[in-house]
Amino acid sequence: MAPRGRQAQPIPEKTLASPSFDRVAFVTNGTAEADIAASRLRARYGDNAVEDADFVVALGGDGLMLQTLHRVMSSDIPVYGMNFGSVGFMMNTFSEDDLESRLAAAQPTHIYPLSMEVLDTTGQTQTALALNEVSLFRASYQAAKIQIIVDGETRLDELICDGALLSTPAGSTAYNLSAHGPILPIEAQLLALTPISPFRPRRWRGAILSNRAVVKFITREADKRPVSAVADNVEFQHVLEVTVREDRSRGVTLLFDPGTSLEERVLSEQFRF
């Protein structure tokens, strides 16, 4: 992580101009339908370990896609999803045919994670990465009290709420949207800060921040009002402070069929009723 005042160097973007299809890995969400489809695809196109692959084809839903992206983040192997889940916002339609042609024509989208550092009530510090969002949740029947600091300056002294989240552009159409947060263009260098069921200040709807911002959440009355922090699917309990910033030293690449890029999907979501 680059220190404050220095811009972290972005990961080099892979070119798919001359792809090699000798090494493709298939992963599934474990359903019978996805496993049967994967068996047929492996027989037809070969199979490799994820760590040795040039491409990963994920058969499942958005949950599997997030798991797979976290798995390949250190190597940034491109991931092409085919929908066998319930939503499939980050997935392409399923077909056994012309996989090599679809991979060759696929449009890459590069996204970067949020780095979350948590200090808990025992004094222990832990870290995790989030491609969608970092969320704080009340962990008891009582509302959470959270102080919000942006780049060292207190912007909200006390938010009384069920929680709060900081979302990437890729995650802005997920939980952030359900919490009435803004949809961010996928290429925007922005983050969405959104309250979850705010009680006071009742009318505060959140903020749009630069992706260079460092956001710190400090919990009030942590023993009486316990709060948990979640980075995608990694949860830490009894948190005192949570510091979040974008990490441009890491990243992942998603592949989409022409005309169905993540950028187009995020744009289209803003015109749904």
Predicted pLDDT at 228: 97
Residue 5 domain-assigned (yes or no): no
- Which residue segment(s) compose the domain that 222 sits in? 114-246
In a structure prediction context, what are the per-residue pLDDT tens digits for the chain, which is 273 residues long?
A: 333 333 444 444 444 444 556 789 999 999 999 999 999 999 999 989 999 999 999 999 999 999 999 999 988 899 999 999 777 788 999 999 999 999 999 999 999 999 999 999 999 999 999 999 999 999 999 999 999 999 999 999 999 999 999 999 999 988 999 999 999 988 889 999 999 999 999 889 999 999 999 999 999 999 999 999 999 989 999 999 999 999 999 999 999 999 887 888 888 887 876
Pairing of strands 163-167, 215-220: unpaired
Which residues sit in the known binding site? 62-63, 132-133, 162, 170, 173-178
Residue 132 shares a structural domain with residue 197: yes
Residue 167 shares a structural domain with residue 225: yes
**Which residue, chain included where needed, has tokens 């749904």?**
272
Predicted pLDDT at 90: 87
Which residues sit in the known binding site for NAD(+)? 62-63, 132-133, 162, 170, 173-178
Q: Which residues pair with 196 in a beta bridge?
A: 163
> If we measure between CA atoms, which residue out of 72, 218, 81 comes closest to residue 156?
218
Token pair recorded at residue 102: 């679809």
Residue 14 domain-assigned (yes or no): no
Whole-prediction pTM: 0.84
d(CA 257, CA 6): 36
Residue 62 shares a structural domain with residue 137: no
CB atoms within 10 A of CB 100: 12
Residue 141 domain-assigned (yes or no): yes
- Active-site choice (54, 62, 98, 247): 62
Residue 120 shares a structural domain with residue 242: yes
Predicted pLDDT at 153: 97
**Which residue, chain included where needed, has tokens 């919000």?**
148
Residue 84 shares a structural domain with residue 184: no
62 assigned to active site: yes
Burial zone of 208 (CB within 10 Å; 0-12 exposed, 13-18 middle, 19+ buried): middle
Name the phi and psi angles at 104, rounded to 5: -65, -35
Residue 128 shares a structural domain with residue 99: no
**Which residue, chain included where needed, has tokens 């699917």?**
233
Number of domains in the chain: 2
Looking at residue 105, which CATH number applies to its domain?
Answer: 3.40.50.10330
Residue 104 shares a structural domain with residue 125: no
Residue 128 shares a structural domain with residue 238: yes
Predicted pLDDT at 15: 43
Residue 262 domain-assigned (yes or no): yes
Residue 240 domain-assigned (yes or no): yes
Residue 162 shares a structural domain with residue 261: no
- Three-state DSSP class for 73? coil
Residue 141 shares a structural domain with residue 101: no
Predicted pLDDT at 104: 93
